[in-house]
């Protein structure tokens, strides 16, 4: 019975990845259209040149099986774990439930959130040990791990 469950999970994960890789977002990610004039981020670098953005290989190495916390432009916190198997976990929710999947494509890190059906892909840059996530093609910061005070 466990083997059948594992096979079913593997099939579901493979199908989800196949679907998500071809999925185009139908909504604007949080903060894209209403970013505040003054950012709450402690340090916001200017949009990096394309050659300063992380490559797909660098993104996988930095995020595979890792946990990070940060904030969005409006100051609201996020904390996620990106599993080695592509699972995405919300560390701010009780029990740190699986909330979607993550993957890397075209030198962008992408997230698909099960509950909302939203896919968001980001360019990323790393500066002084912190990550900055940019809306592709715009250079607008959509999130960072550099939020000043630690998230409680």
Contacts of 73 (CB under 8 A, 6+ apart): 31, 35, 36, 39, 40, 41, 141, 142, 143
Q: Where are the domains of the chain?
A: 2-25+48-144
Distance CA 70, CA 16 (A): 26
- Does the reported pTM lie above 0.85? no
Contacts of 52 (CB under 8 A, 6+ apart): 125
3-state secondary structure of 138: coil
- Confidence check: pLDDT of 59 > 90: yes
| pLDDT single digits (tens) 74-110 | 889 999 999 999 999 999 988 889 999 999 999 999 9
Distance CA 101, CA 80 (A): 11
- Per-residue pLDDT at 70: 92
- Confidence check: pLDDT of 73 > 60: yes
| pLDDT single digits (tens) 7-42 | 333 333 333 333 344 444 333 444 444 344 444 444
């Amino acid at each position: 019975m466990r083997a059948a469950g594992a096979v079913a999970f593997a099939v579901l994960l493979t199908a989800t990845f196949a679907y998500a890789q071809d999925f185009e977002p139908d909504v604007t990610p949080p903060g894209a259209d209403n970013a505040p004039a003054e950012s709450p981020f402690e340090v916001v670098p200017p949009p990096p040149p394309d050659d300063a953005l992380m490559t797909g290989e660098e993104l996988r190495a930095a995020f595979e099986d890792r946990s990070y916390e940060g904030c969005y432009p409006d100051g609201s916190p996020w904390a996620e774990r990106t599993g080695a198997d592509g699972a995405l976990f919300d560390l701010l929710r009780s029990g740190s439930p699986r909330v979607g999947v993550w993957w890397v494509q075209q030198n962008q890190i992408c997230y698909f959130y099960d509950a909302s059906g939203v896919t968001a892909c980001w360019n990323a840059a790393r500066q002084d040990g912190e990550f900055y996530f940019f809306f592709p093609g715009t250079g607008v910061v959509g999130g960072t791990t550099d939020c000043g005070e630690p998230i409680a």
